[in-house]
Structure 1
Amino acid sequence: MPMRNIYAPQSGARSGPPLVRTPSHRQRIARGRWTVLGGMLGLALAGAVVGALAERRTPPVAESGPETGPFSYFPYQ
């Protein structure tokens, strides 16, 4: 008596999902690239949203006291 094939349908009734081809190597690489690109764009969008929500509101500058330059503790000329 031959062994029964476990992948063959049993009298027309199917049990479980149909068998499908696995993605090719090229398709898997493309999916990985799209995943990385989507992650980078999502992170950039999240950073832009956080940056827009946390926008600095600078208080009005007091007119008293000397101004300093961008890289100096000494009064700006």
Structure 2
Amino acid sequence: GLSAEERKHRGVNLPLERIGEPDDLAGAAAFLASDDARYITGHCLVIDGGMLAQQRSATVDIYPPSRFPKIGK
């Protein structure tokens, strides 16, 4: 796993300013596995902390935060 310092460093450039945790996926996975999602087929649920919304690459942590606009602030 990553150290706390590595996690903080990698999260700086992400739209939500942190890297994802297993709990960030758990609710969506539980919903999709439930009867509430029984009519959902062929859907791609993106859980990426806002990367797609800003059309940013997963390699964004090689660039300084100043290159990207902040969201919601």
TM-score, structure 1 normalization? 0.23
Select the structure with the greater relative contact order (CA < 8 A; seq sep ≥ 6): 2
TM-score, structure 2 normalization? 0.24
Larger Rg over CA atoms: 1
